[in-house]
Structure 1
Amino acid sequence: MAVSGLSINLATVRQQYDMRQAVEACLKLDISAIAPWRDQVHAIGLGEAARIVADNRLKVTGLCRGGMFPAADAEGLRAAIDDNRRAIDEAAALNADCLVLVVGGLPKGSKDIVHAREMVADGIAAILPHARSAGIPLAIEPLHPMYAADRACVNTLEQALDICDLLGGGVGVAVDVYHVWWDPKLYEQIARAGAKGKILAHHICDWLVPTRDLLLDRGMMGDGVIDLKRIRAAVEKAGFSGPQEVEIFSEANWWKKPGEQVLSTCVERFHTIC
């Protein structure tokens, strides 16, 4: 029987496997839901990636990632929008539940985060008709404020949901515990998202103390300080019924372990910790 309710974001084993190998390793453990990254898809070709998904009847809980909208000039913004349209097409080919958006930080040379957030909203608005036509929901993923300058100037669920309210149907949020666990408005905003049917994905890992690298030292569930059960309960109470998606970047630890050990630990912790 498949491990119901669990998805593996393939970044979790990106140093051990390519997409094809990761799928094979997941299937050996009866994991039938995945979330690939675009570079992993490109490495084997979109057609082959789509075939693997279809032949194995995989659920693709999200494609990572679109976004990165703020740009220093009009040419850069056009390039970002064009790339996001391609990402939407790739998500559609994989029958993904959503395209996850890491929206981007400050344009080069800028200190104007307010304008950067305006460019994010404008960029999503520009690709939204294409996403709606393709049947691919756009999931804004707010990132921890430490990434505001370089990766995502949208840093709370409240900010992400404000954009959703502005743009309407076809856009929601990805709730990644690593990025939002600290937010004093977290549970209020999860409830707000649920009332509007805006929770499109739920990503899990843990926050280590100490954290040695703010990007590449995420913890396995249960090894850190995040109240995973409480957040899961809130997300499910808000109406989200999709799989929990394990997404771990761990350069010094989990990326160095055998892939089968990483995946089997994900399954064990999912059953005991989450």
Structure 2
Amino acid sequence: MELSRLSYNQITSDHHSLEEVAQACAVEGVPYMAPWRHKLNQENVVESARIIREAGLKVSSLCRGGMFPAATETERLARLDDNRRAIDEAAELGTDVLVLVCGPSPDRDIEGARAMVEKGIEALIPYAEERHVKLGIEPLHPVFAGDRSVISTLGQANDIAERLASPQVGVVIDVYHVWWDPRLYQEIERSKGRILGFHVNDWIKVTDPLTSRGMMGDGVIEINRIRQAVEKAGYNGPVEVEILNHAFWNLPCEETIKQTKARFLEYV
């Protein structure tokens, strides 16, 4: 894998500011970065865009929109408004991909929550089209169904994208979340033409599912095989290294980026 496709997802150095990560990426010759909204909220979005642009970087995606299900119509409408703000932020940053973490059920009705997700995405399509931003449905590992997303498989994400049938809606494939799925390669093939992003990391011994991701090569995921399948399905865009792990958060971001580059070349 060529470094020209490497994107450093900001969450991999979550204890550092957007400016620190952007400058470190520039020094290390990483061409893309992927900000998270909680970092943008610490400073003006226009200023964030300037920092990234002046570092000579491109933005592969913005994380995150979504979180559609809610107990009341008022709450659901408020979440749609927040997603429109996220679309605006993505457009300002110069990326055409907003990653959707779809949200958990507000009660025990998981099927009802999935319907809320689809309805919410559908409601955003006209505004996303107006702002030239695409909505990437990222399925999360089933361990997160109770608190982060009721969309747990690539097949479920593909189902929604197919029913909505809009060029503004696609899928984001993160190896951490999908590697276990016995239908993974069939669903990647089915995703052809709608893959909006590809994220890499590794599955190591899990203590906390959220912050136990490993560096590529430290775990059990067939990263290279999945990457080849994603490329065969037509995706040749940036590849984001997205690792949530306290061990990396506590390192200088320059050190993590150096390790990221080496593992990216070897294992992706």
- TM-score calculated relative to the size of structure 1: 0.95
1:191 alignment partner in structure 2: 189
Say if 2:238 is the partner of 1:240.
no
1:182 alignment partner in structure 2: 180
Q: Deviations over 1:235-273 (max 9, x none)?
A: 01111001210000002x211222111110000000111
CA distance in 2 between counterparts of 1:81 and 1:119 reads 11
**In the alignment, which residue of structure 1 is the partner of 2:224?**
229
Name the residue aligned to 1:149: 146
Match of 1:83 in 2: 82
Contact between 2:200 and 2:241, CA under 8 Å: does it hold in 1?
yes
Instruction: Name the counterpart of 2:19.
Output: 20
The amino acid that maps onto 1:272 is: E
- Whether the aligned pair in 1 keeps the contact of 2:5 and 2:31 (CA below 8 Å) is no
How far apart, CA to CA, are the structure 2 residues paired with 1:53 and 1:163? 33
* 3-state DSSP of counterpart to 1:105: coil
Give the structure 2 partner of residue 125 of structure 1. 122
Residues 109-148 of structure 1: CA distance to partner in whole angstroms, max 9, x if unpaired? x101000000000001111110011000000000000111
- Give the superposition deviation at 1:50: 1.3
In 1, the alpha carbon distance for the partners of 2:41 and 2:31 equals 21
In structure 2, runs of 5+ residues without a counterpart are: none
Q: Is the 8 A contact 1:19 1:44 kept in 2?
A: no
**Equivalence for 1:64:** 63
Cα RMSD after superposing both structures: 1.0
For 1:25 and 1:55, the matched residues in 2 are separated by 13
Displacement of 1:14 in angstroms is 1.2
| Native 8 Å contact 1:41 1:49 kept in 2 | yes
1:254 corresponds in structure 2 to 248
CA distance in 1, matches of 2:248, 2:18: 17
Superposed counterparts of 1:207-226, under 5 Å? 207-208=203-204, 210-226=205-221
TM-fit CA distance, 1:53: 2.8
Task: Describe the superposition over 1:181-221 as per-residue Cα deviations: whole angstroms up to 9, x where unpaired.
Answer: 00011000101101xx110000000000x211110111000
8 Å CA contact 2:104, 2:150 repeated in 1: yes
SS in 2 for 1:155: coil
Task: Give the drift of 1:57.
Answer: 3.8
Counterparts in 2 of 1:42-61, with a 5 A limit?
A: 42-61=41-60
CA distance in 2, matches of 1:244, 1:46: 23
- Which of 254, 258, 261 lines up with 1:264 in the alignment? 258
The one-letter code sitting in structure 1 at the alignment partner of 2:132 is G
The offset of 1:52, in angstroms, is 1.9
- Conserved 8 A contact 2:9-2:33: yes
Aligned to 2:111: 114
Q: Which runs of 5+ in 1 are unaligned?
A: none
User: How much has 1:167 moved relative to structure 2?
Assistant: 1.0
AA partner of residue 83 (structure 2): N
Q: Name the CA distance, whole Å, in 2 between partners of 1:97 and 1:262.
A: 27
Q: Do the aligned partners of 2:19 and 2:52 also contact (CA within 8 Å) in 1?
A: no
